[in-house]
Amino acid sequence: MNKKGFYFSLLIMSLMLITAGAAWGMVNSNREVENFQVSVVLDESTNDRWIALREGMEQAARDNHIKLNVVSTGAISYTDERILIDRELENEAEGIVVQMISSQDSSAYIEELSQKTAVILLDTDISPEDVYPAVTADNIEIGRALAKAILEDPALIRSNIQIGVLCGHAKQLSMQQRLEGLEEGLLAEGLKPTWILETGSPEMTGKLEQKMSETPASILVSLGDPETESAVDYFQSQTGMQLTTTLYGVGCSEKNVYFLDQGLIRTLVVPNEFNMGYQSISAIAEKLKYKLSDPVTEKVNYLVVNKENLYDAKNQKILFPIVQ
């Protein structure tokens, strides 16, 4: 083949390739964007406290073409959680967003899980920290914010302060960090918790009642949403009695907000769970779309709310879910 013939063949081949490429592009232009299937494993996933988180997740799922499956769970154990994850993997979940029930001894499991699928830790990191991508609240700061709320409360009577702390999932790093932040904040004023109650939700109210009868606390600090609800339940059970205990807590459920509105809770620290949900799904979507991406741990902000600022325009937008 001479030079002209070669160039002519090259031109014809190029045009044929362009035609084929354009035809392929035309056929595929209307194809739906690939949907990834992501499963979310949470403790008590149907609880109201996750409304904002789920709202954020669903928004992110819509934005990132994710088929989201929030596994319906009650109170689950460390073992239940792993069974659920395995089941989701069998159901061809391409990514897992998981709130680890225990942050201890989970590193090997997460490492193994990361080899099989994309994983984002939610709400709490594991030990050692910052190894795997996680979306959590700034838990130490939440603890400090609680301490600050206590110490800056104008109604605080500093003499004979008895501080009781409710710490439900004590094996979770988030709880440990909140406690650490709280203790650190209190210690700045020479205070420290009188007692710390570490137990799960179902037994929490009964054990709290027992503890309060043994060592009454003038200040009760609950480090998680279920713990705050348990404390509220305890207070409600004390009908007719003079309440001398002030409750400071962490939470975002409508029940907790309601009792904040009612004045039963003095201060509520509310992690921005909408952001947590949105960012966790966005992070796993990025991981699924771009295999080489390496999401890092992200910390979401929080609000410190009391009865007076509950209906502030900014606070109500974050506190109250729009989804009815």
Partner 1 sequence: MNKENLLDKLNAYLKKYMKPQSIQMTIAVSFTIVSVACMGFLGVMMYNRFVNRMEVMKAESTEQLLNQTAINLESYLRNMRRISDAMYYSAIKDKDLATESVDPEMTLLYEANKDNLISIACYSGDGELVAAAPVSTEKEGLNAADQDWFMAATEQMENLHFSTPHVQNLFDNASYRYYWVVSLSRAVELTENGNSSMGVLLVDMNYSSIEQLFKKVNYDTSSEYVYLMDSNGEIIYHPRQKLIYTDLYQENNLEEAKLADGSYEEMFQGSKRLITVKTVSYTGWKIVSIVPMSSFDMGLLGTRMFVIMLMSLTMLAVILFNQLVSAQIARPLQKLNNSIKDWESGNMNPDIYVGGSQETEHLGRTLRSVVAQLRQLMDDIVVEQEEKRKSELDALQSQINPHFLYNTLDSIVWMIEGERYDDAVFMITQLASLFRVSLSRGRTIISIEDEIRHAQNYMNIQKIRYKNKFTVTFKVEEEVLQCCTVKLVVQPLLENAIYYGTEEMDGDGEVTVRGYRNEQDVYLEVSDNGLGMPEEIVEQLLTENNRVRKRGSGVGLLNVHNRIALRFGKPYGLEIESYPDEGTIVRIHLPMIPYTQENQEALEKGTWKSEKEAAHE
What residues make contact with partner 1 under the rule CB under 8 A?
Answer: 4, 8, 11-12, 15-16, 18-19, 22-23, 25-26, 29-30, 48, 55-56, 59, 62, 65, 253-255, 257-258, 261, 272, 274-275, 278-279, 311, 313-314, 316-320, 322, 324
Tokens of 114: 């990361």
Q: Which is nearer to partner 1, 30 or 159 (CB)?
A: 30
CB of 65 to partner 1, least distance (A): 8
> Nearer Cβ to partner 1, position 80 or 286?
286
Write down the least CB distance from residue 320 to partner 1, Å.
5
Both tokens assigned to 2: 């001479």
In the complex, the smallest distance separating the C-beta of residue 233 from partner 1, rounded to whole angstroms, is 13
Report the nearest approach of partner 1 to the CB of residue 72 (Å).
Answer: 21
Apex 295 CA angle, 293 and 300, nearest 5: 155
**C-beta of 180 vs 298, nearer to partner 1:** 298
Is residue 140 within 8 A of residue 175, CB to CB? The reply is no
Nearer to partner 1, 132 or 259 (CB): 259
> Which three-class secondary structure string do you get for 244-306?
CCEEEEECCCHHHHHHHHHCCEEEEEEECHHHHHHHHHHHHHHHHHCCCCCCCCEEECEEEEE
Helix axes of 51-63 and 273-289: crossing angle, nearest 10 degrees: 30
**CB nearer to partner 1: pick between 126 and 319:** 319
Q: Look-up: residue for tokens 């029930």? A: 101
CB 280 to partner 1: min, Å: 12
The continuous run of DSSP H or E covering 204 comes out as helix 201-214
Query: What does DSSP assign to residue 76?
Result: -
Q: How many other β-carbons are positioned within 10 Å of the β-carbon of residue 107?
A: 14
CB of 29 to partner 1, least distance (A): 4
- Tell me the two tokens of residue 271: 């992690």
**Whose Cβ is closer to partner 1: residue 18's or residue 187's?**
18
